[in-house]
Each structure stands twice: as structure tokens, then as C-alpha cells.
Amino acid sequence: MRFLQTLSRGLRSQPGYTLMRMAARFSTVRSTVVGTRALWQRSTTRSYLAERQSQMKSSLFPGLDREAFVKTLQQKGVAFGLTLPPSMVQEIRAYTERSPSFADRLTDRGFLPGERERAEQRLGKPILLAQYFNARTECPAIDRLATDPALCWIAASYLRSMPAFVGSNLWWTYPVDASPQDRDLHAHLFHRDVDDFRFLKFFFYLTDVAAGEGAHVLVQGSHRRPPAVRGFADRWNIRRYRDEEIAAIYASEDVLEITGRAGIGFAENTLCVHKGRTPVTRPRLLLQLQYALFDYGVMHDLRDPTQLSYLR
């Protein structure tokens, strides 16, 4: 019943996105769409890649072995080797220190830096996650990163056709005793994303992230080896998985907890099983940039500024 209610709401509010999510659960459908689009756009994509190649001197990642990076991403679902210049980390951090973020990604729950405690009192609960809206349009460093030639080249090569930039997201995760509902809402349980027939995300840590301190966790290779379908719910729903379920399915060496200094980045196909881990002592700031075949208008952080409001 819950599935049918969710499906009905989705078909009314976001029909294209909802239908895609139903079809893209199946690997044969994903492969068919990706292959057909690659053939259709072969010439255009080749020209796009050549143009990005000609711009590589202006990239923030000029020495990156992009072909090896894409090959690893295809095989493992995740690839490493990106590092932001300290000046860019500082620029984005400066933006967060003067701008409001929004608890639970809701437009009427804004609060300024230093006011989280008061915001939690107003909400009557701890804030696990707070996101910035319109970050790319307000922070030039994020806009530059989203159009970086190396990232765009990787996206086109991995997608095998013209990439659509579908959104940036910048958010804090706080070390709180969050409710099970909030941990579920903000994806702190293992799950898989079905955001398009093929897509990828670049993640950049903007704070130091040690083990157990808000690290991103994923099962490498699980974009090709999903958990077994156990029934109707597993076939049609995108559900959460308990840690014990994942431990019983995958080898422990394939479960990666990604840690590192502020500025490290990686790419991931989040069709892989993954989750965010709740920090214990220090907040984590994360930037996500997402590219896909099609833009359904649901992954971005763009909001009408006149509709944003503060917690009072």
C-alpha cells in the first residue's frame, strides 16, 4: 500500500522521473538506454571530449590520469585521485560562514552560522543535516568546479554521451543523537540511488574526515552486484538495508569507509550500495556535483530566494 501511494504521488508530481526510476531498476533497460544514446550522440560526444581536452590546462586537476580514473569508476563504482586547491576549500568554507543553511533541506528551516543550538530548540530536536540552497549561483568556486574541463571530460566519458549537469548540493552533517527517522530520511542507512539510467557524482570533503567522523561508506563493485531480490518490495522499491544485511552479502574488504583531509574528492556511481555515517565529535561539510544523461529537475539545490525563510 505504501508503495502504491508513493508511486501515485510521484506520477502526479514528477511523472518523467518516477517512470525512469521504475524502468532503471533493471540492468537491461539501463544498458539499452545508455548504448542507444551513445550511438545517437557519438559524433557530438567525440567533439565535446576533444574540446574539453583542449581546455585541460585550465583544469584544477591537470595531472589526473582521466582514462584510468574512468576505467576504475566503471569497474569498482568509485574512483579516487581528486584534490582541491586549499584556496578553493577556503573560498567555499568562507561562503558557508556567511550564508544560512537549512535544516532537513526544508526551505522554512533556515539558520545562520552559530545559531544551530537555537534552531534545534525551535525545532525541538537535534539537527542531523543542514543544506545550502543556490550554492552554485552564489559561490563562484562551486560554479568553476562544476564546469572544470577534467570533471566534464570524465562525466562524458563515463556516461558515453553528452553529460547533463543536474545539480550541486552542499551540506553539513552534525554529530548528534539523531532519531531513526532522521537517519533514514538523510540516508544514514545503506541504500542505492536510481537517479537516471546512468549517472555519477563527484564528492569533495571540505572538512577533515577521520574514521567514524561522518565518512561516506560504500560497497565497491555493488553497482554490478546488487543485493539479491527477495520479493516484490525489493524489486520495485528503493529501500534501506541494515548493516547486518550488507555484511552478510558482501566481503568486508569491499566495504570502504572513505576518510581524508579537507579537499579530497572522489567520483562514485551511487547505484553502489552506500550510506553516510553520522559524525561522533565534529561536523562534516560535503560538496556533491552530479552529472547524468537526463535532467529531471529534481537533483539541484535551486530555490526561489523569496521562498526561503528562517526559523524564528
What's 162's domain CATH number? 2.60.120.620
| CB of 243 closer than 8 Å to CB of 55 | no
**Do 265 and 204 meet the contact criterion of CB atoms below 8 Å apart?**
yes
Report the domain count for the chain.
Answer: 1
Give me the pLDDT at residue 241, please: 92
- Check pLDDT > 70 for residue 231: no
Residue 141 domain-assigned (yes or no): yes
Please give the Cα distance from 12 to 21 (Å, whole number): 14
Average model confidence (pLDDT) across the chain:
94
User: Among 131-135, 136-140, 212-216, 307-311, which is the least confidently predicted range?
Assistant: 212-216
- Asked if residue 312 is part of any domain, the answer here is no
Q: Rounded to an integer, what distance in angstroms lies between the CA atom of residue 66 and that of residue 279?
A: 32
> What is residue 13's predicted lDDT score, i.e. its pLDDT?
74
* Pairing of β 78-83 and β 264-268: antiparallel
Neighbours of 44 (CB within 10 A): 12
With 60 as the cut, is the pLDDT of residue 47 above it? yes
Q: 212: pLDDT confidence band, cut at 50, 70 and 90? A: confident
Confidence of residue 12 (pLDDT cuts 50, 70, 90): confident
Element counts in the chain: helices (H) and strands (E): 13, 11
Which range (24-33, 160-169, 230-239) has the least confidence?
Answer: 230-239
Q: Where are the beta strands (DSSP E) in 174-230?
A: 199-205, 216-219
- Reported as a pLDDT band with limits 50, 70 and 90, residue 6 is low
Domain enclosing residue 125, as ranges: 2-307
- Asked if residues 196 and 269 have their Cβ atoms less than 8 Å apart, the reply is no
DSSP, collapsed to helix, strand or coil, labels residue 126 as coil
Q: pLDDT of 93-116, one tens digit each? A: 999 999 999 999 999 999 999 999
Task: Read off φ and ψ for residue 9, nearest 5 degrees.
Answer: -65, -45
In a domain, 135, yes or no: yes
Centroid of chain to Cα 141: 18
- Residue 127 placed within a domain: yes
The grid coordinates of residue 187 equal 540516508
C-alpha radius of gyration, the chain, whole number: 19
**pLDDT tens-digit map of 118-161:** 999 999 999 999 999 999 999 999 999 999 999 999 999 999 99
Cα separation, 66 vs 68, whole angstroms: 5
312 pLDDT tier (thresholds 50, 70, 90): confident
Q: Which residues pair with 256 in a beta bridge?
A: 218
- The stretch 62-88 carries a mean pLDDT of 97
- For residue 190, give the 3-state DSSP assignment: strand
Q: How confident is the model at residue 7 (pLDDT cuts 50, 70, 90)?
A: low
**1 pLDDT higher than 60:** no
Q: State the pLDDT at residue 239.
A: 83
φ, ψ for residue 216 (rounded to 5)? Answer: -80, 135
Binned at pLDDT 50, 70 and 90, residue 88 comes out as: very high
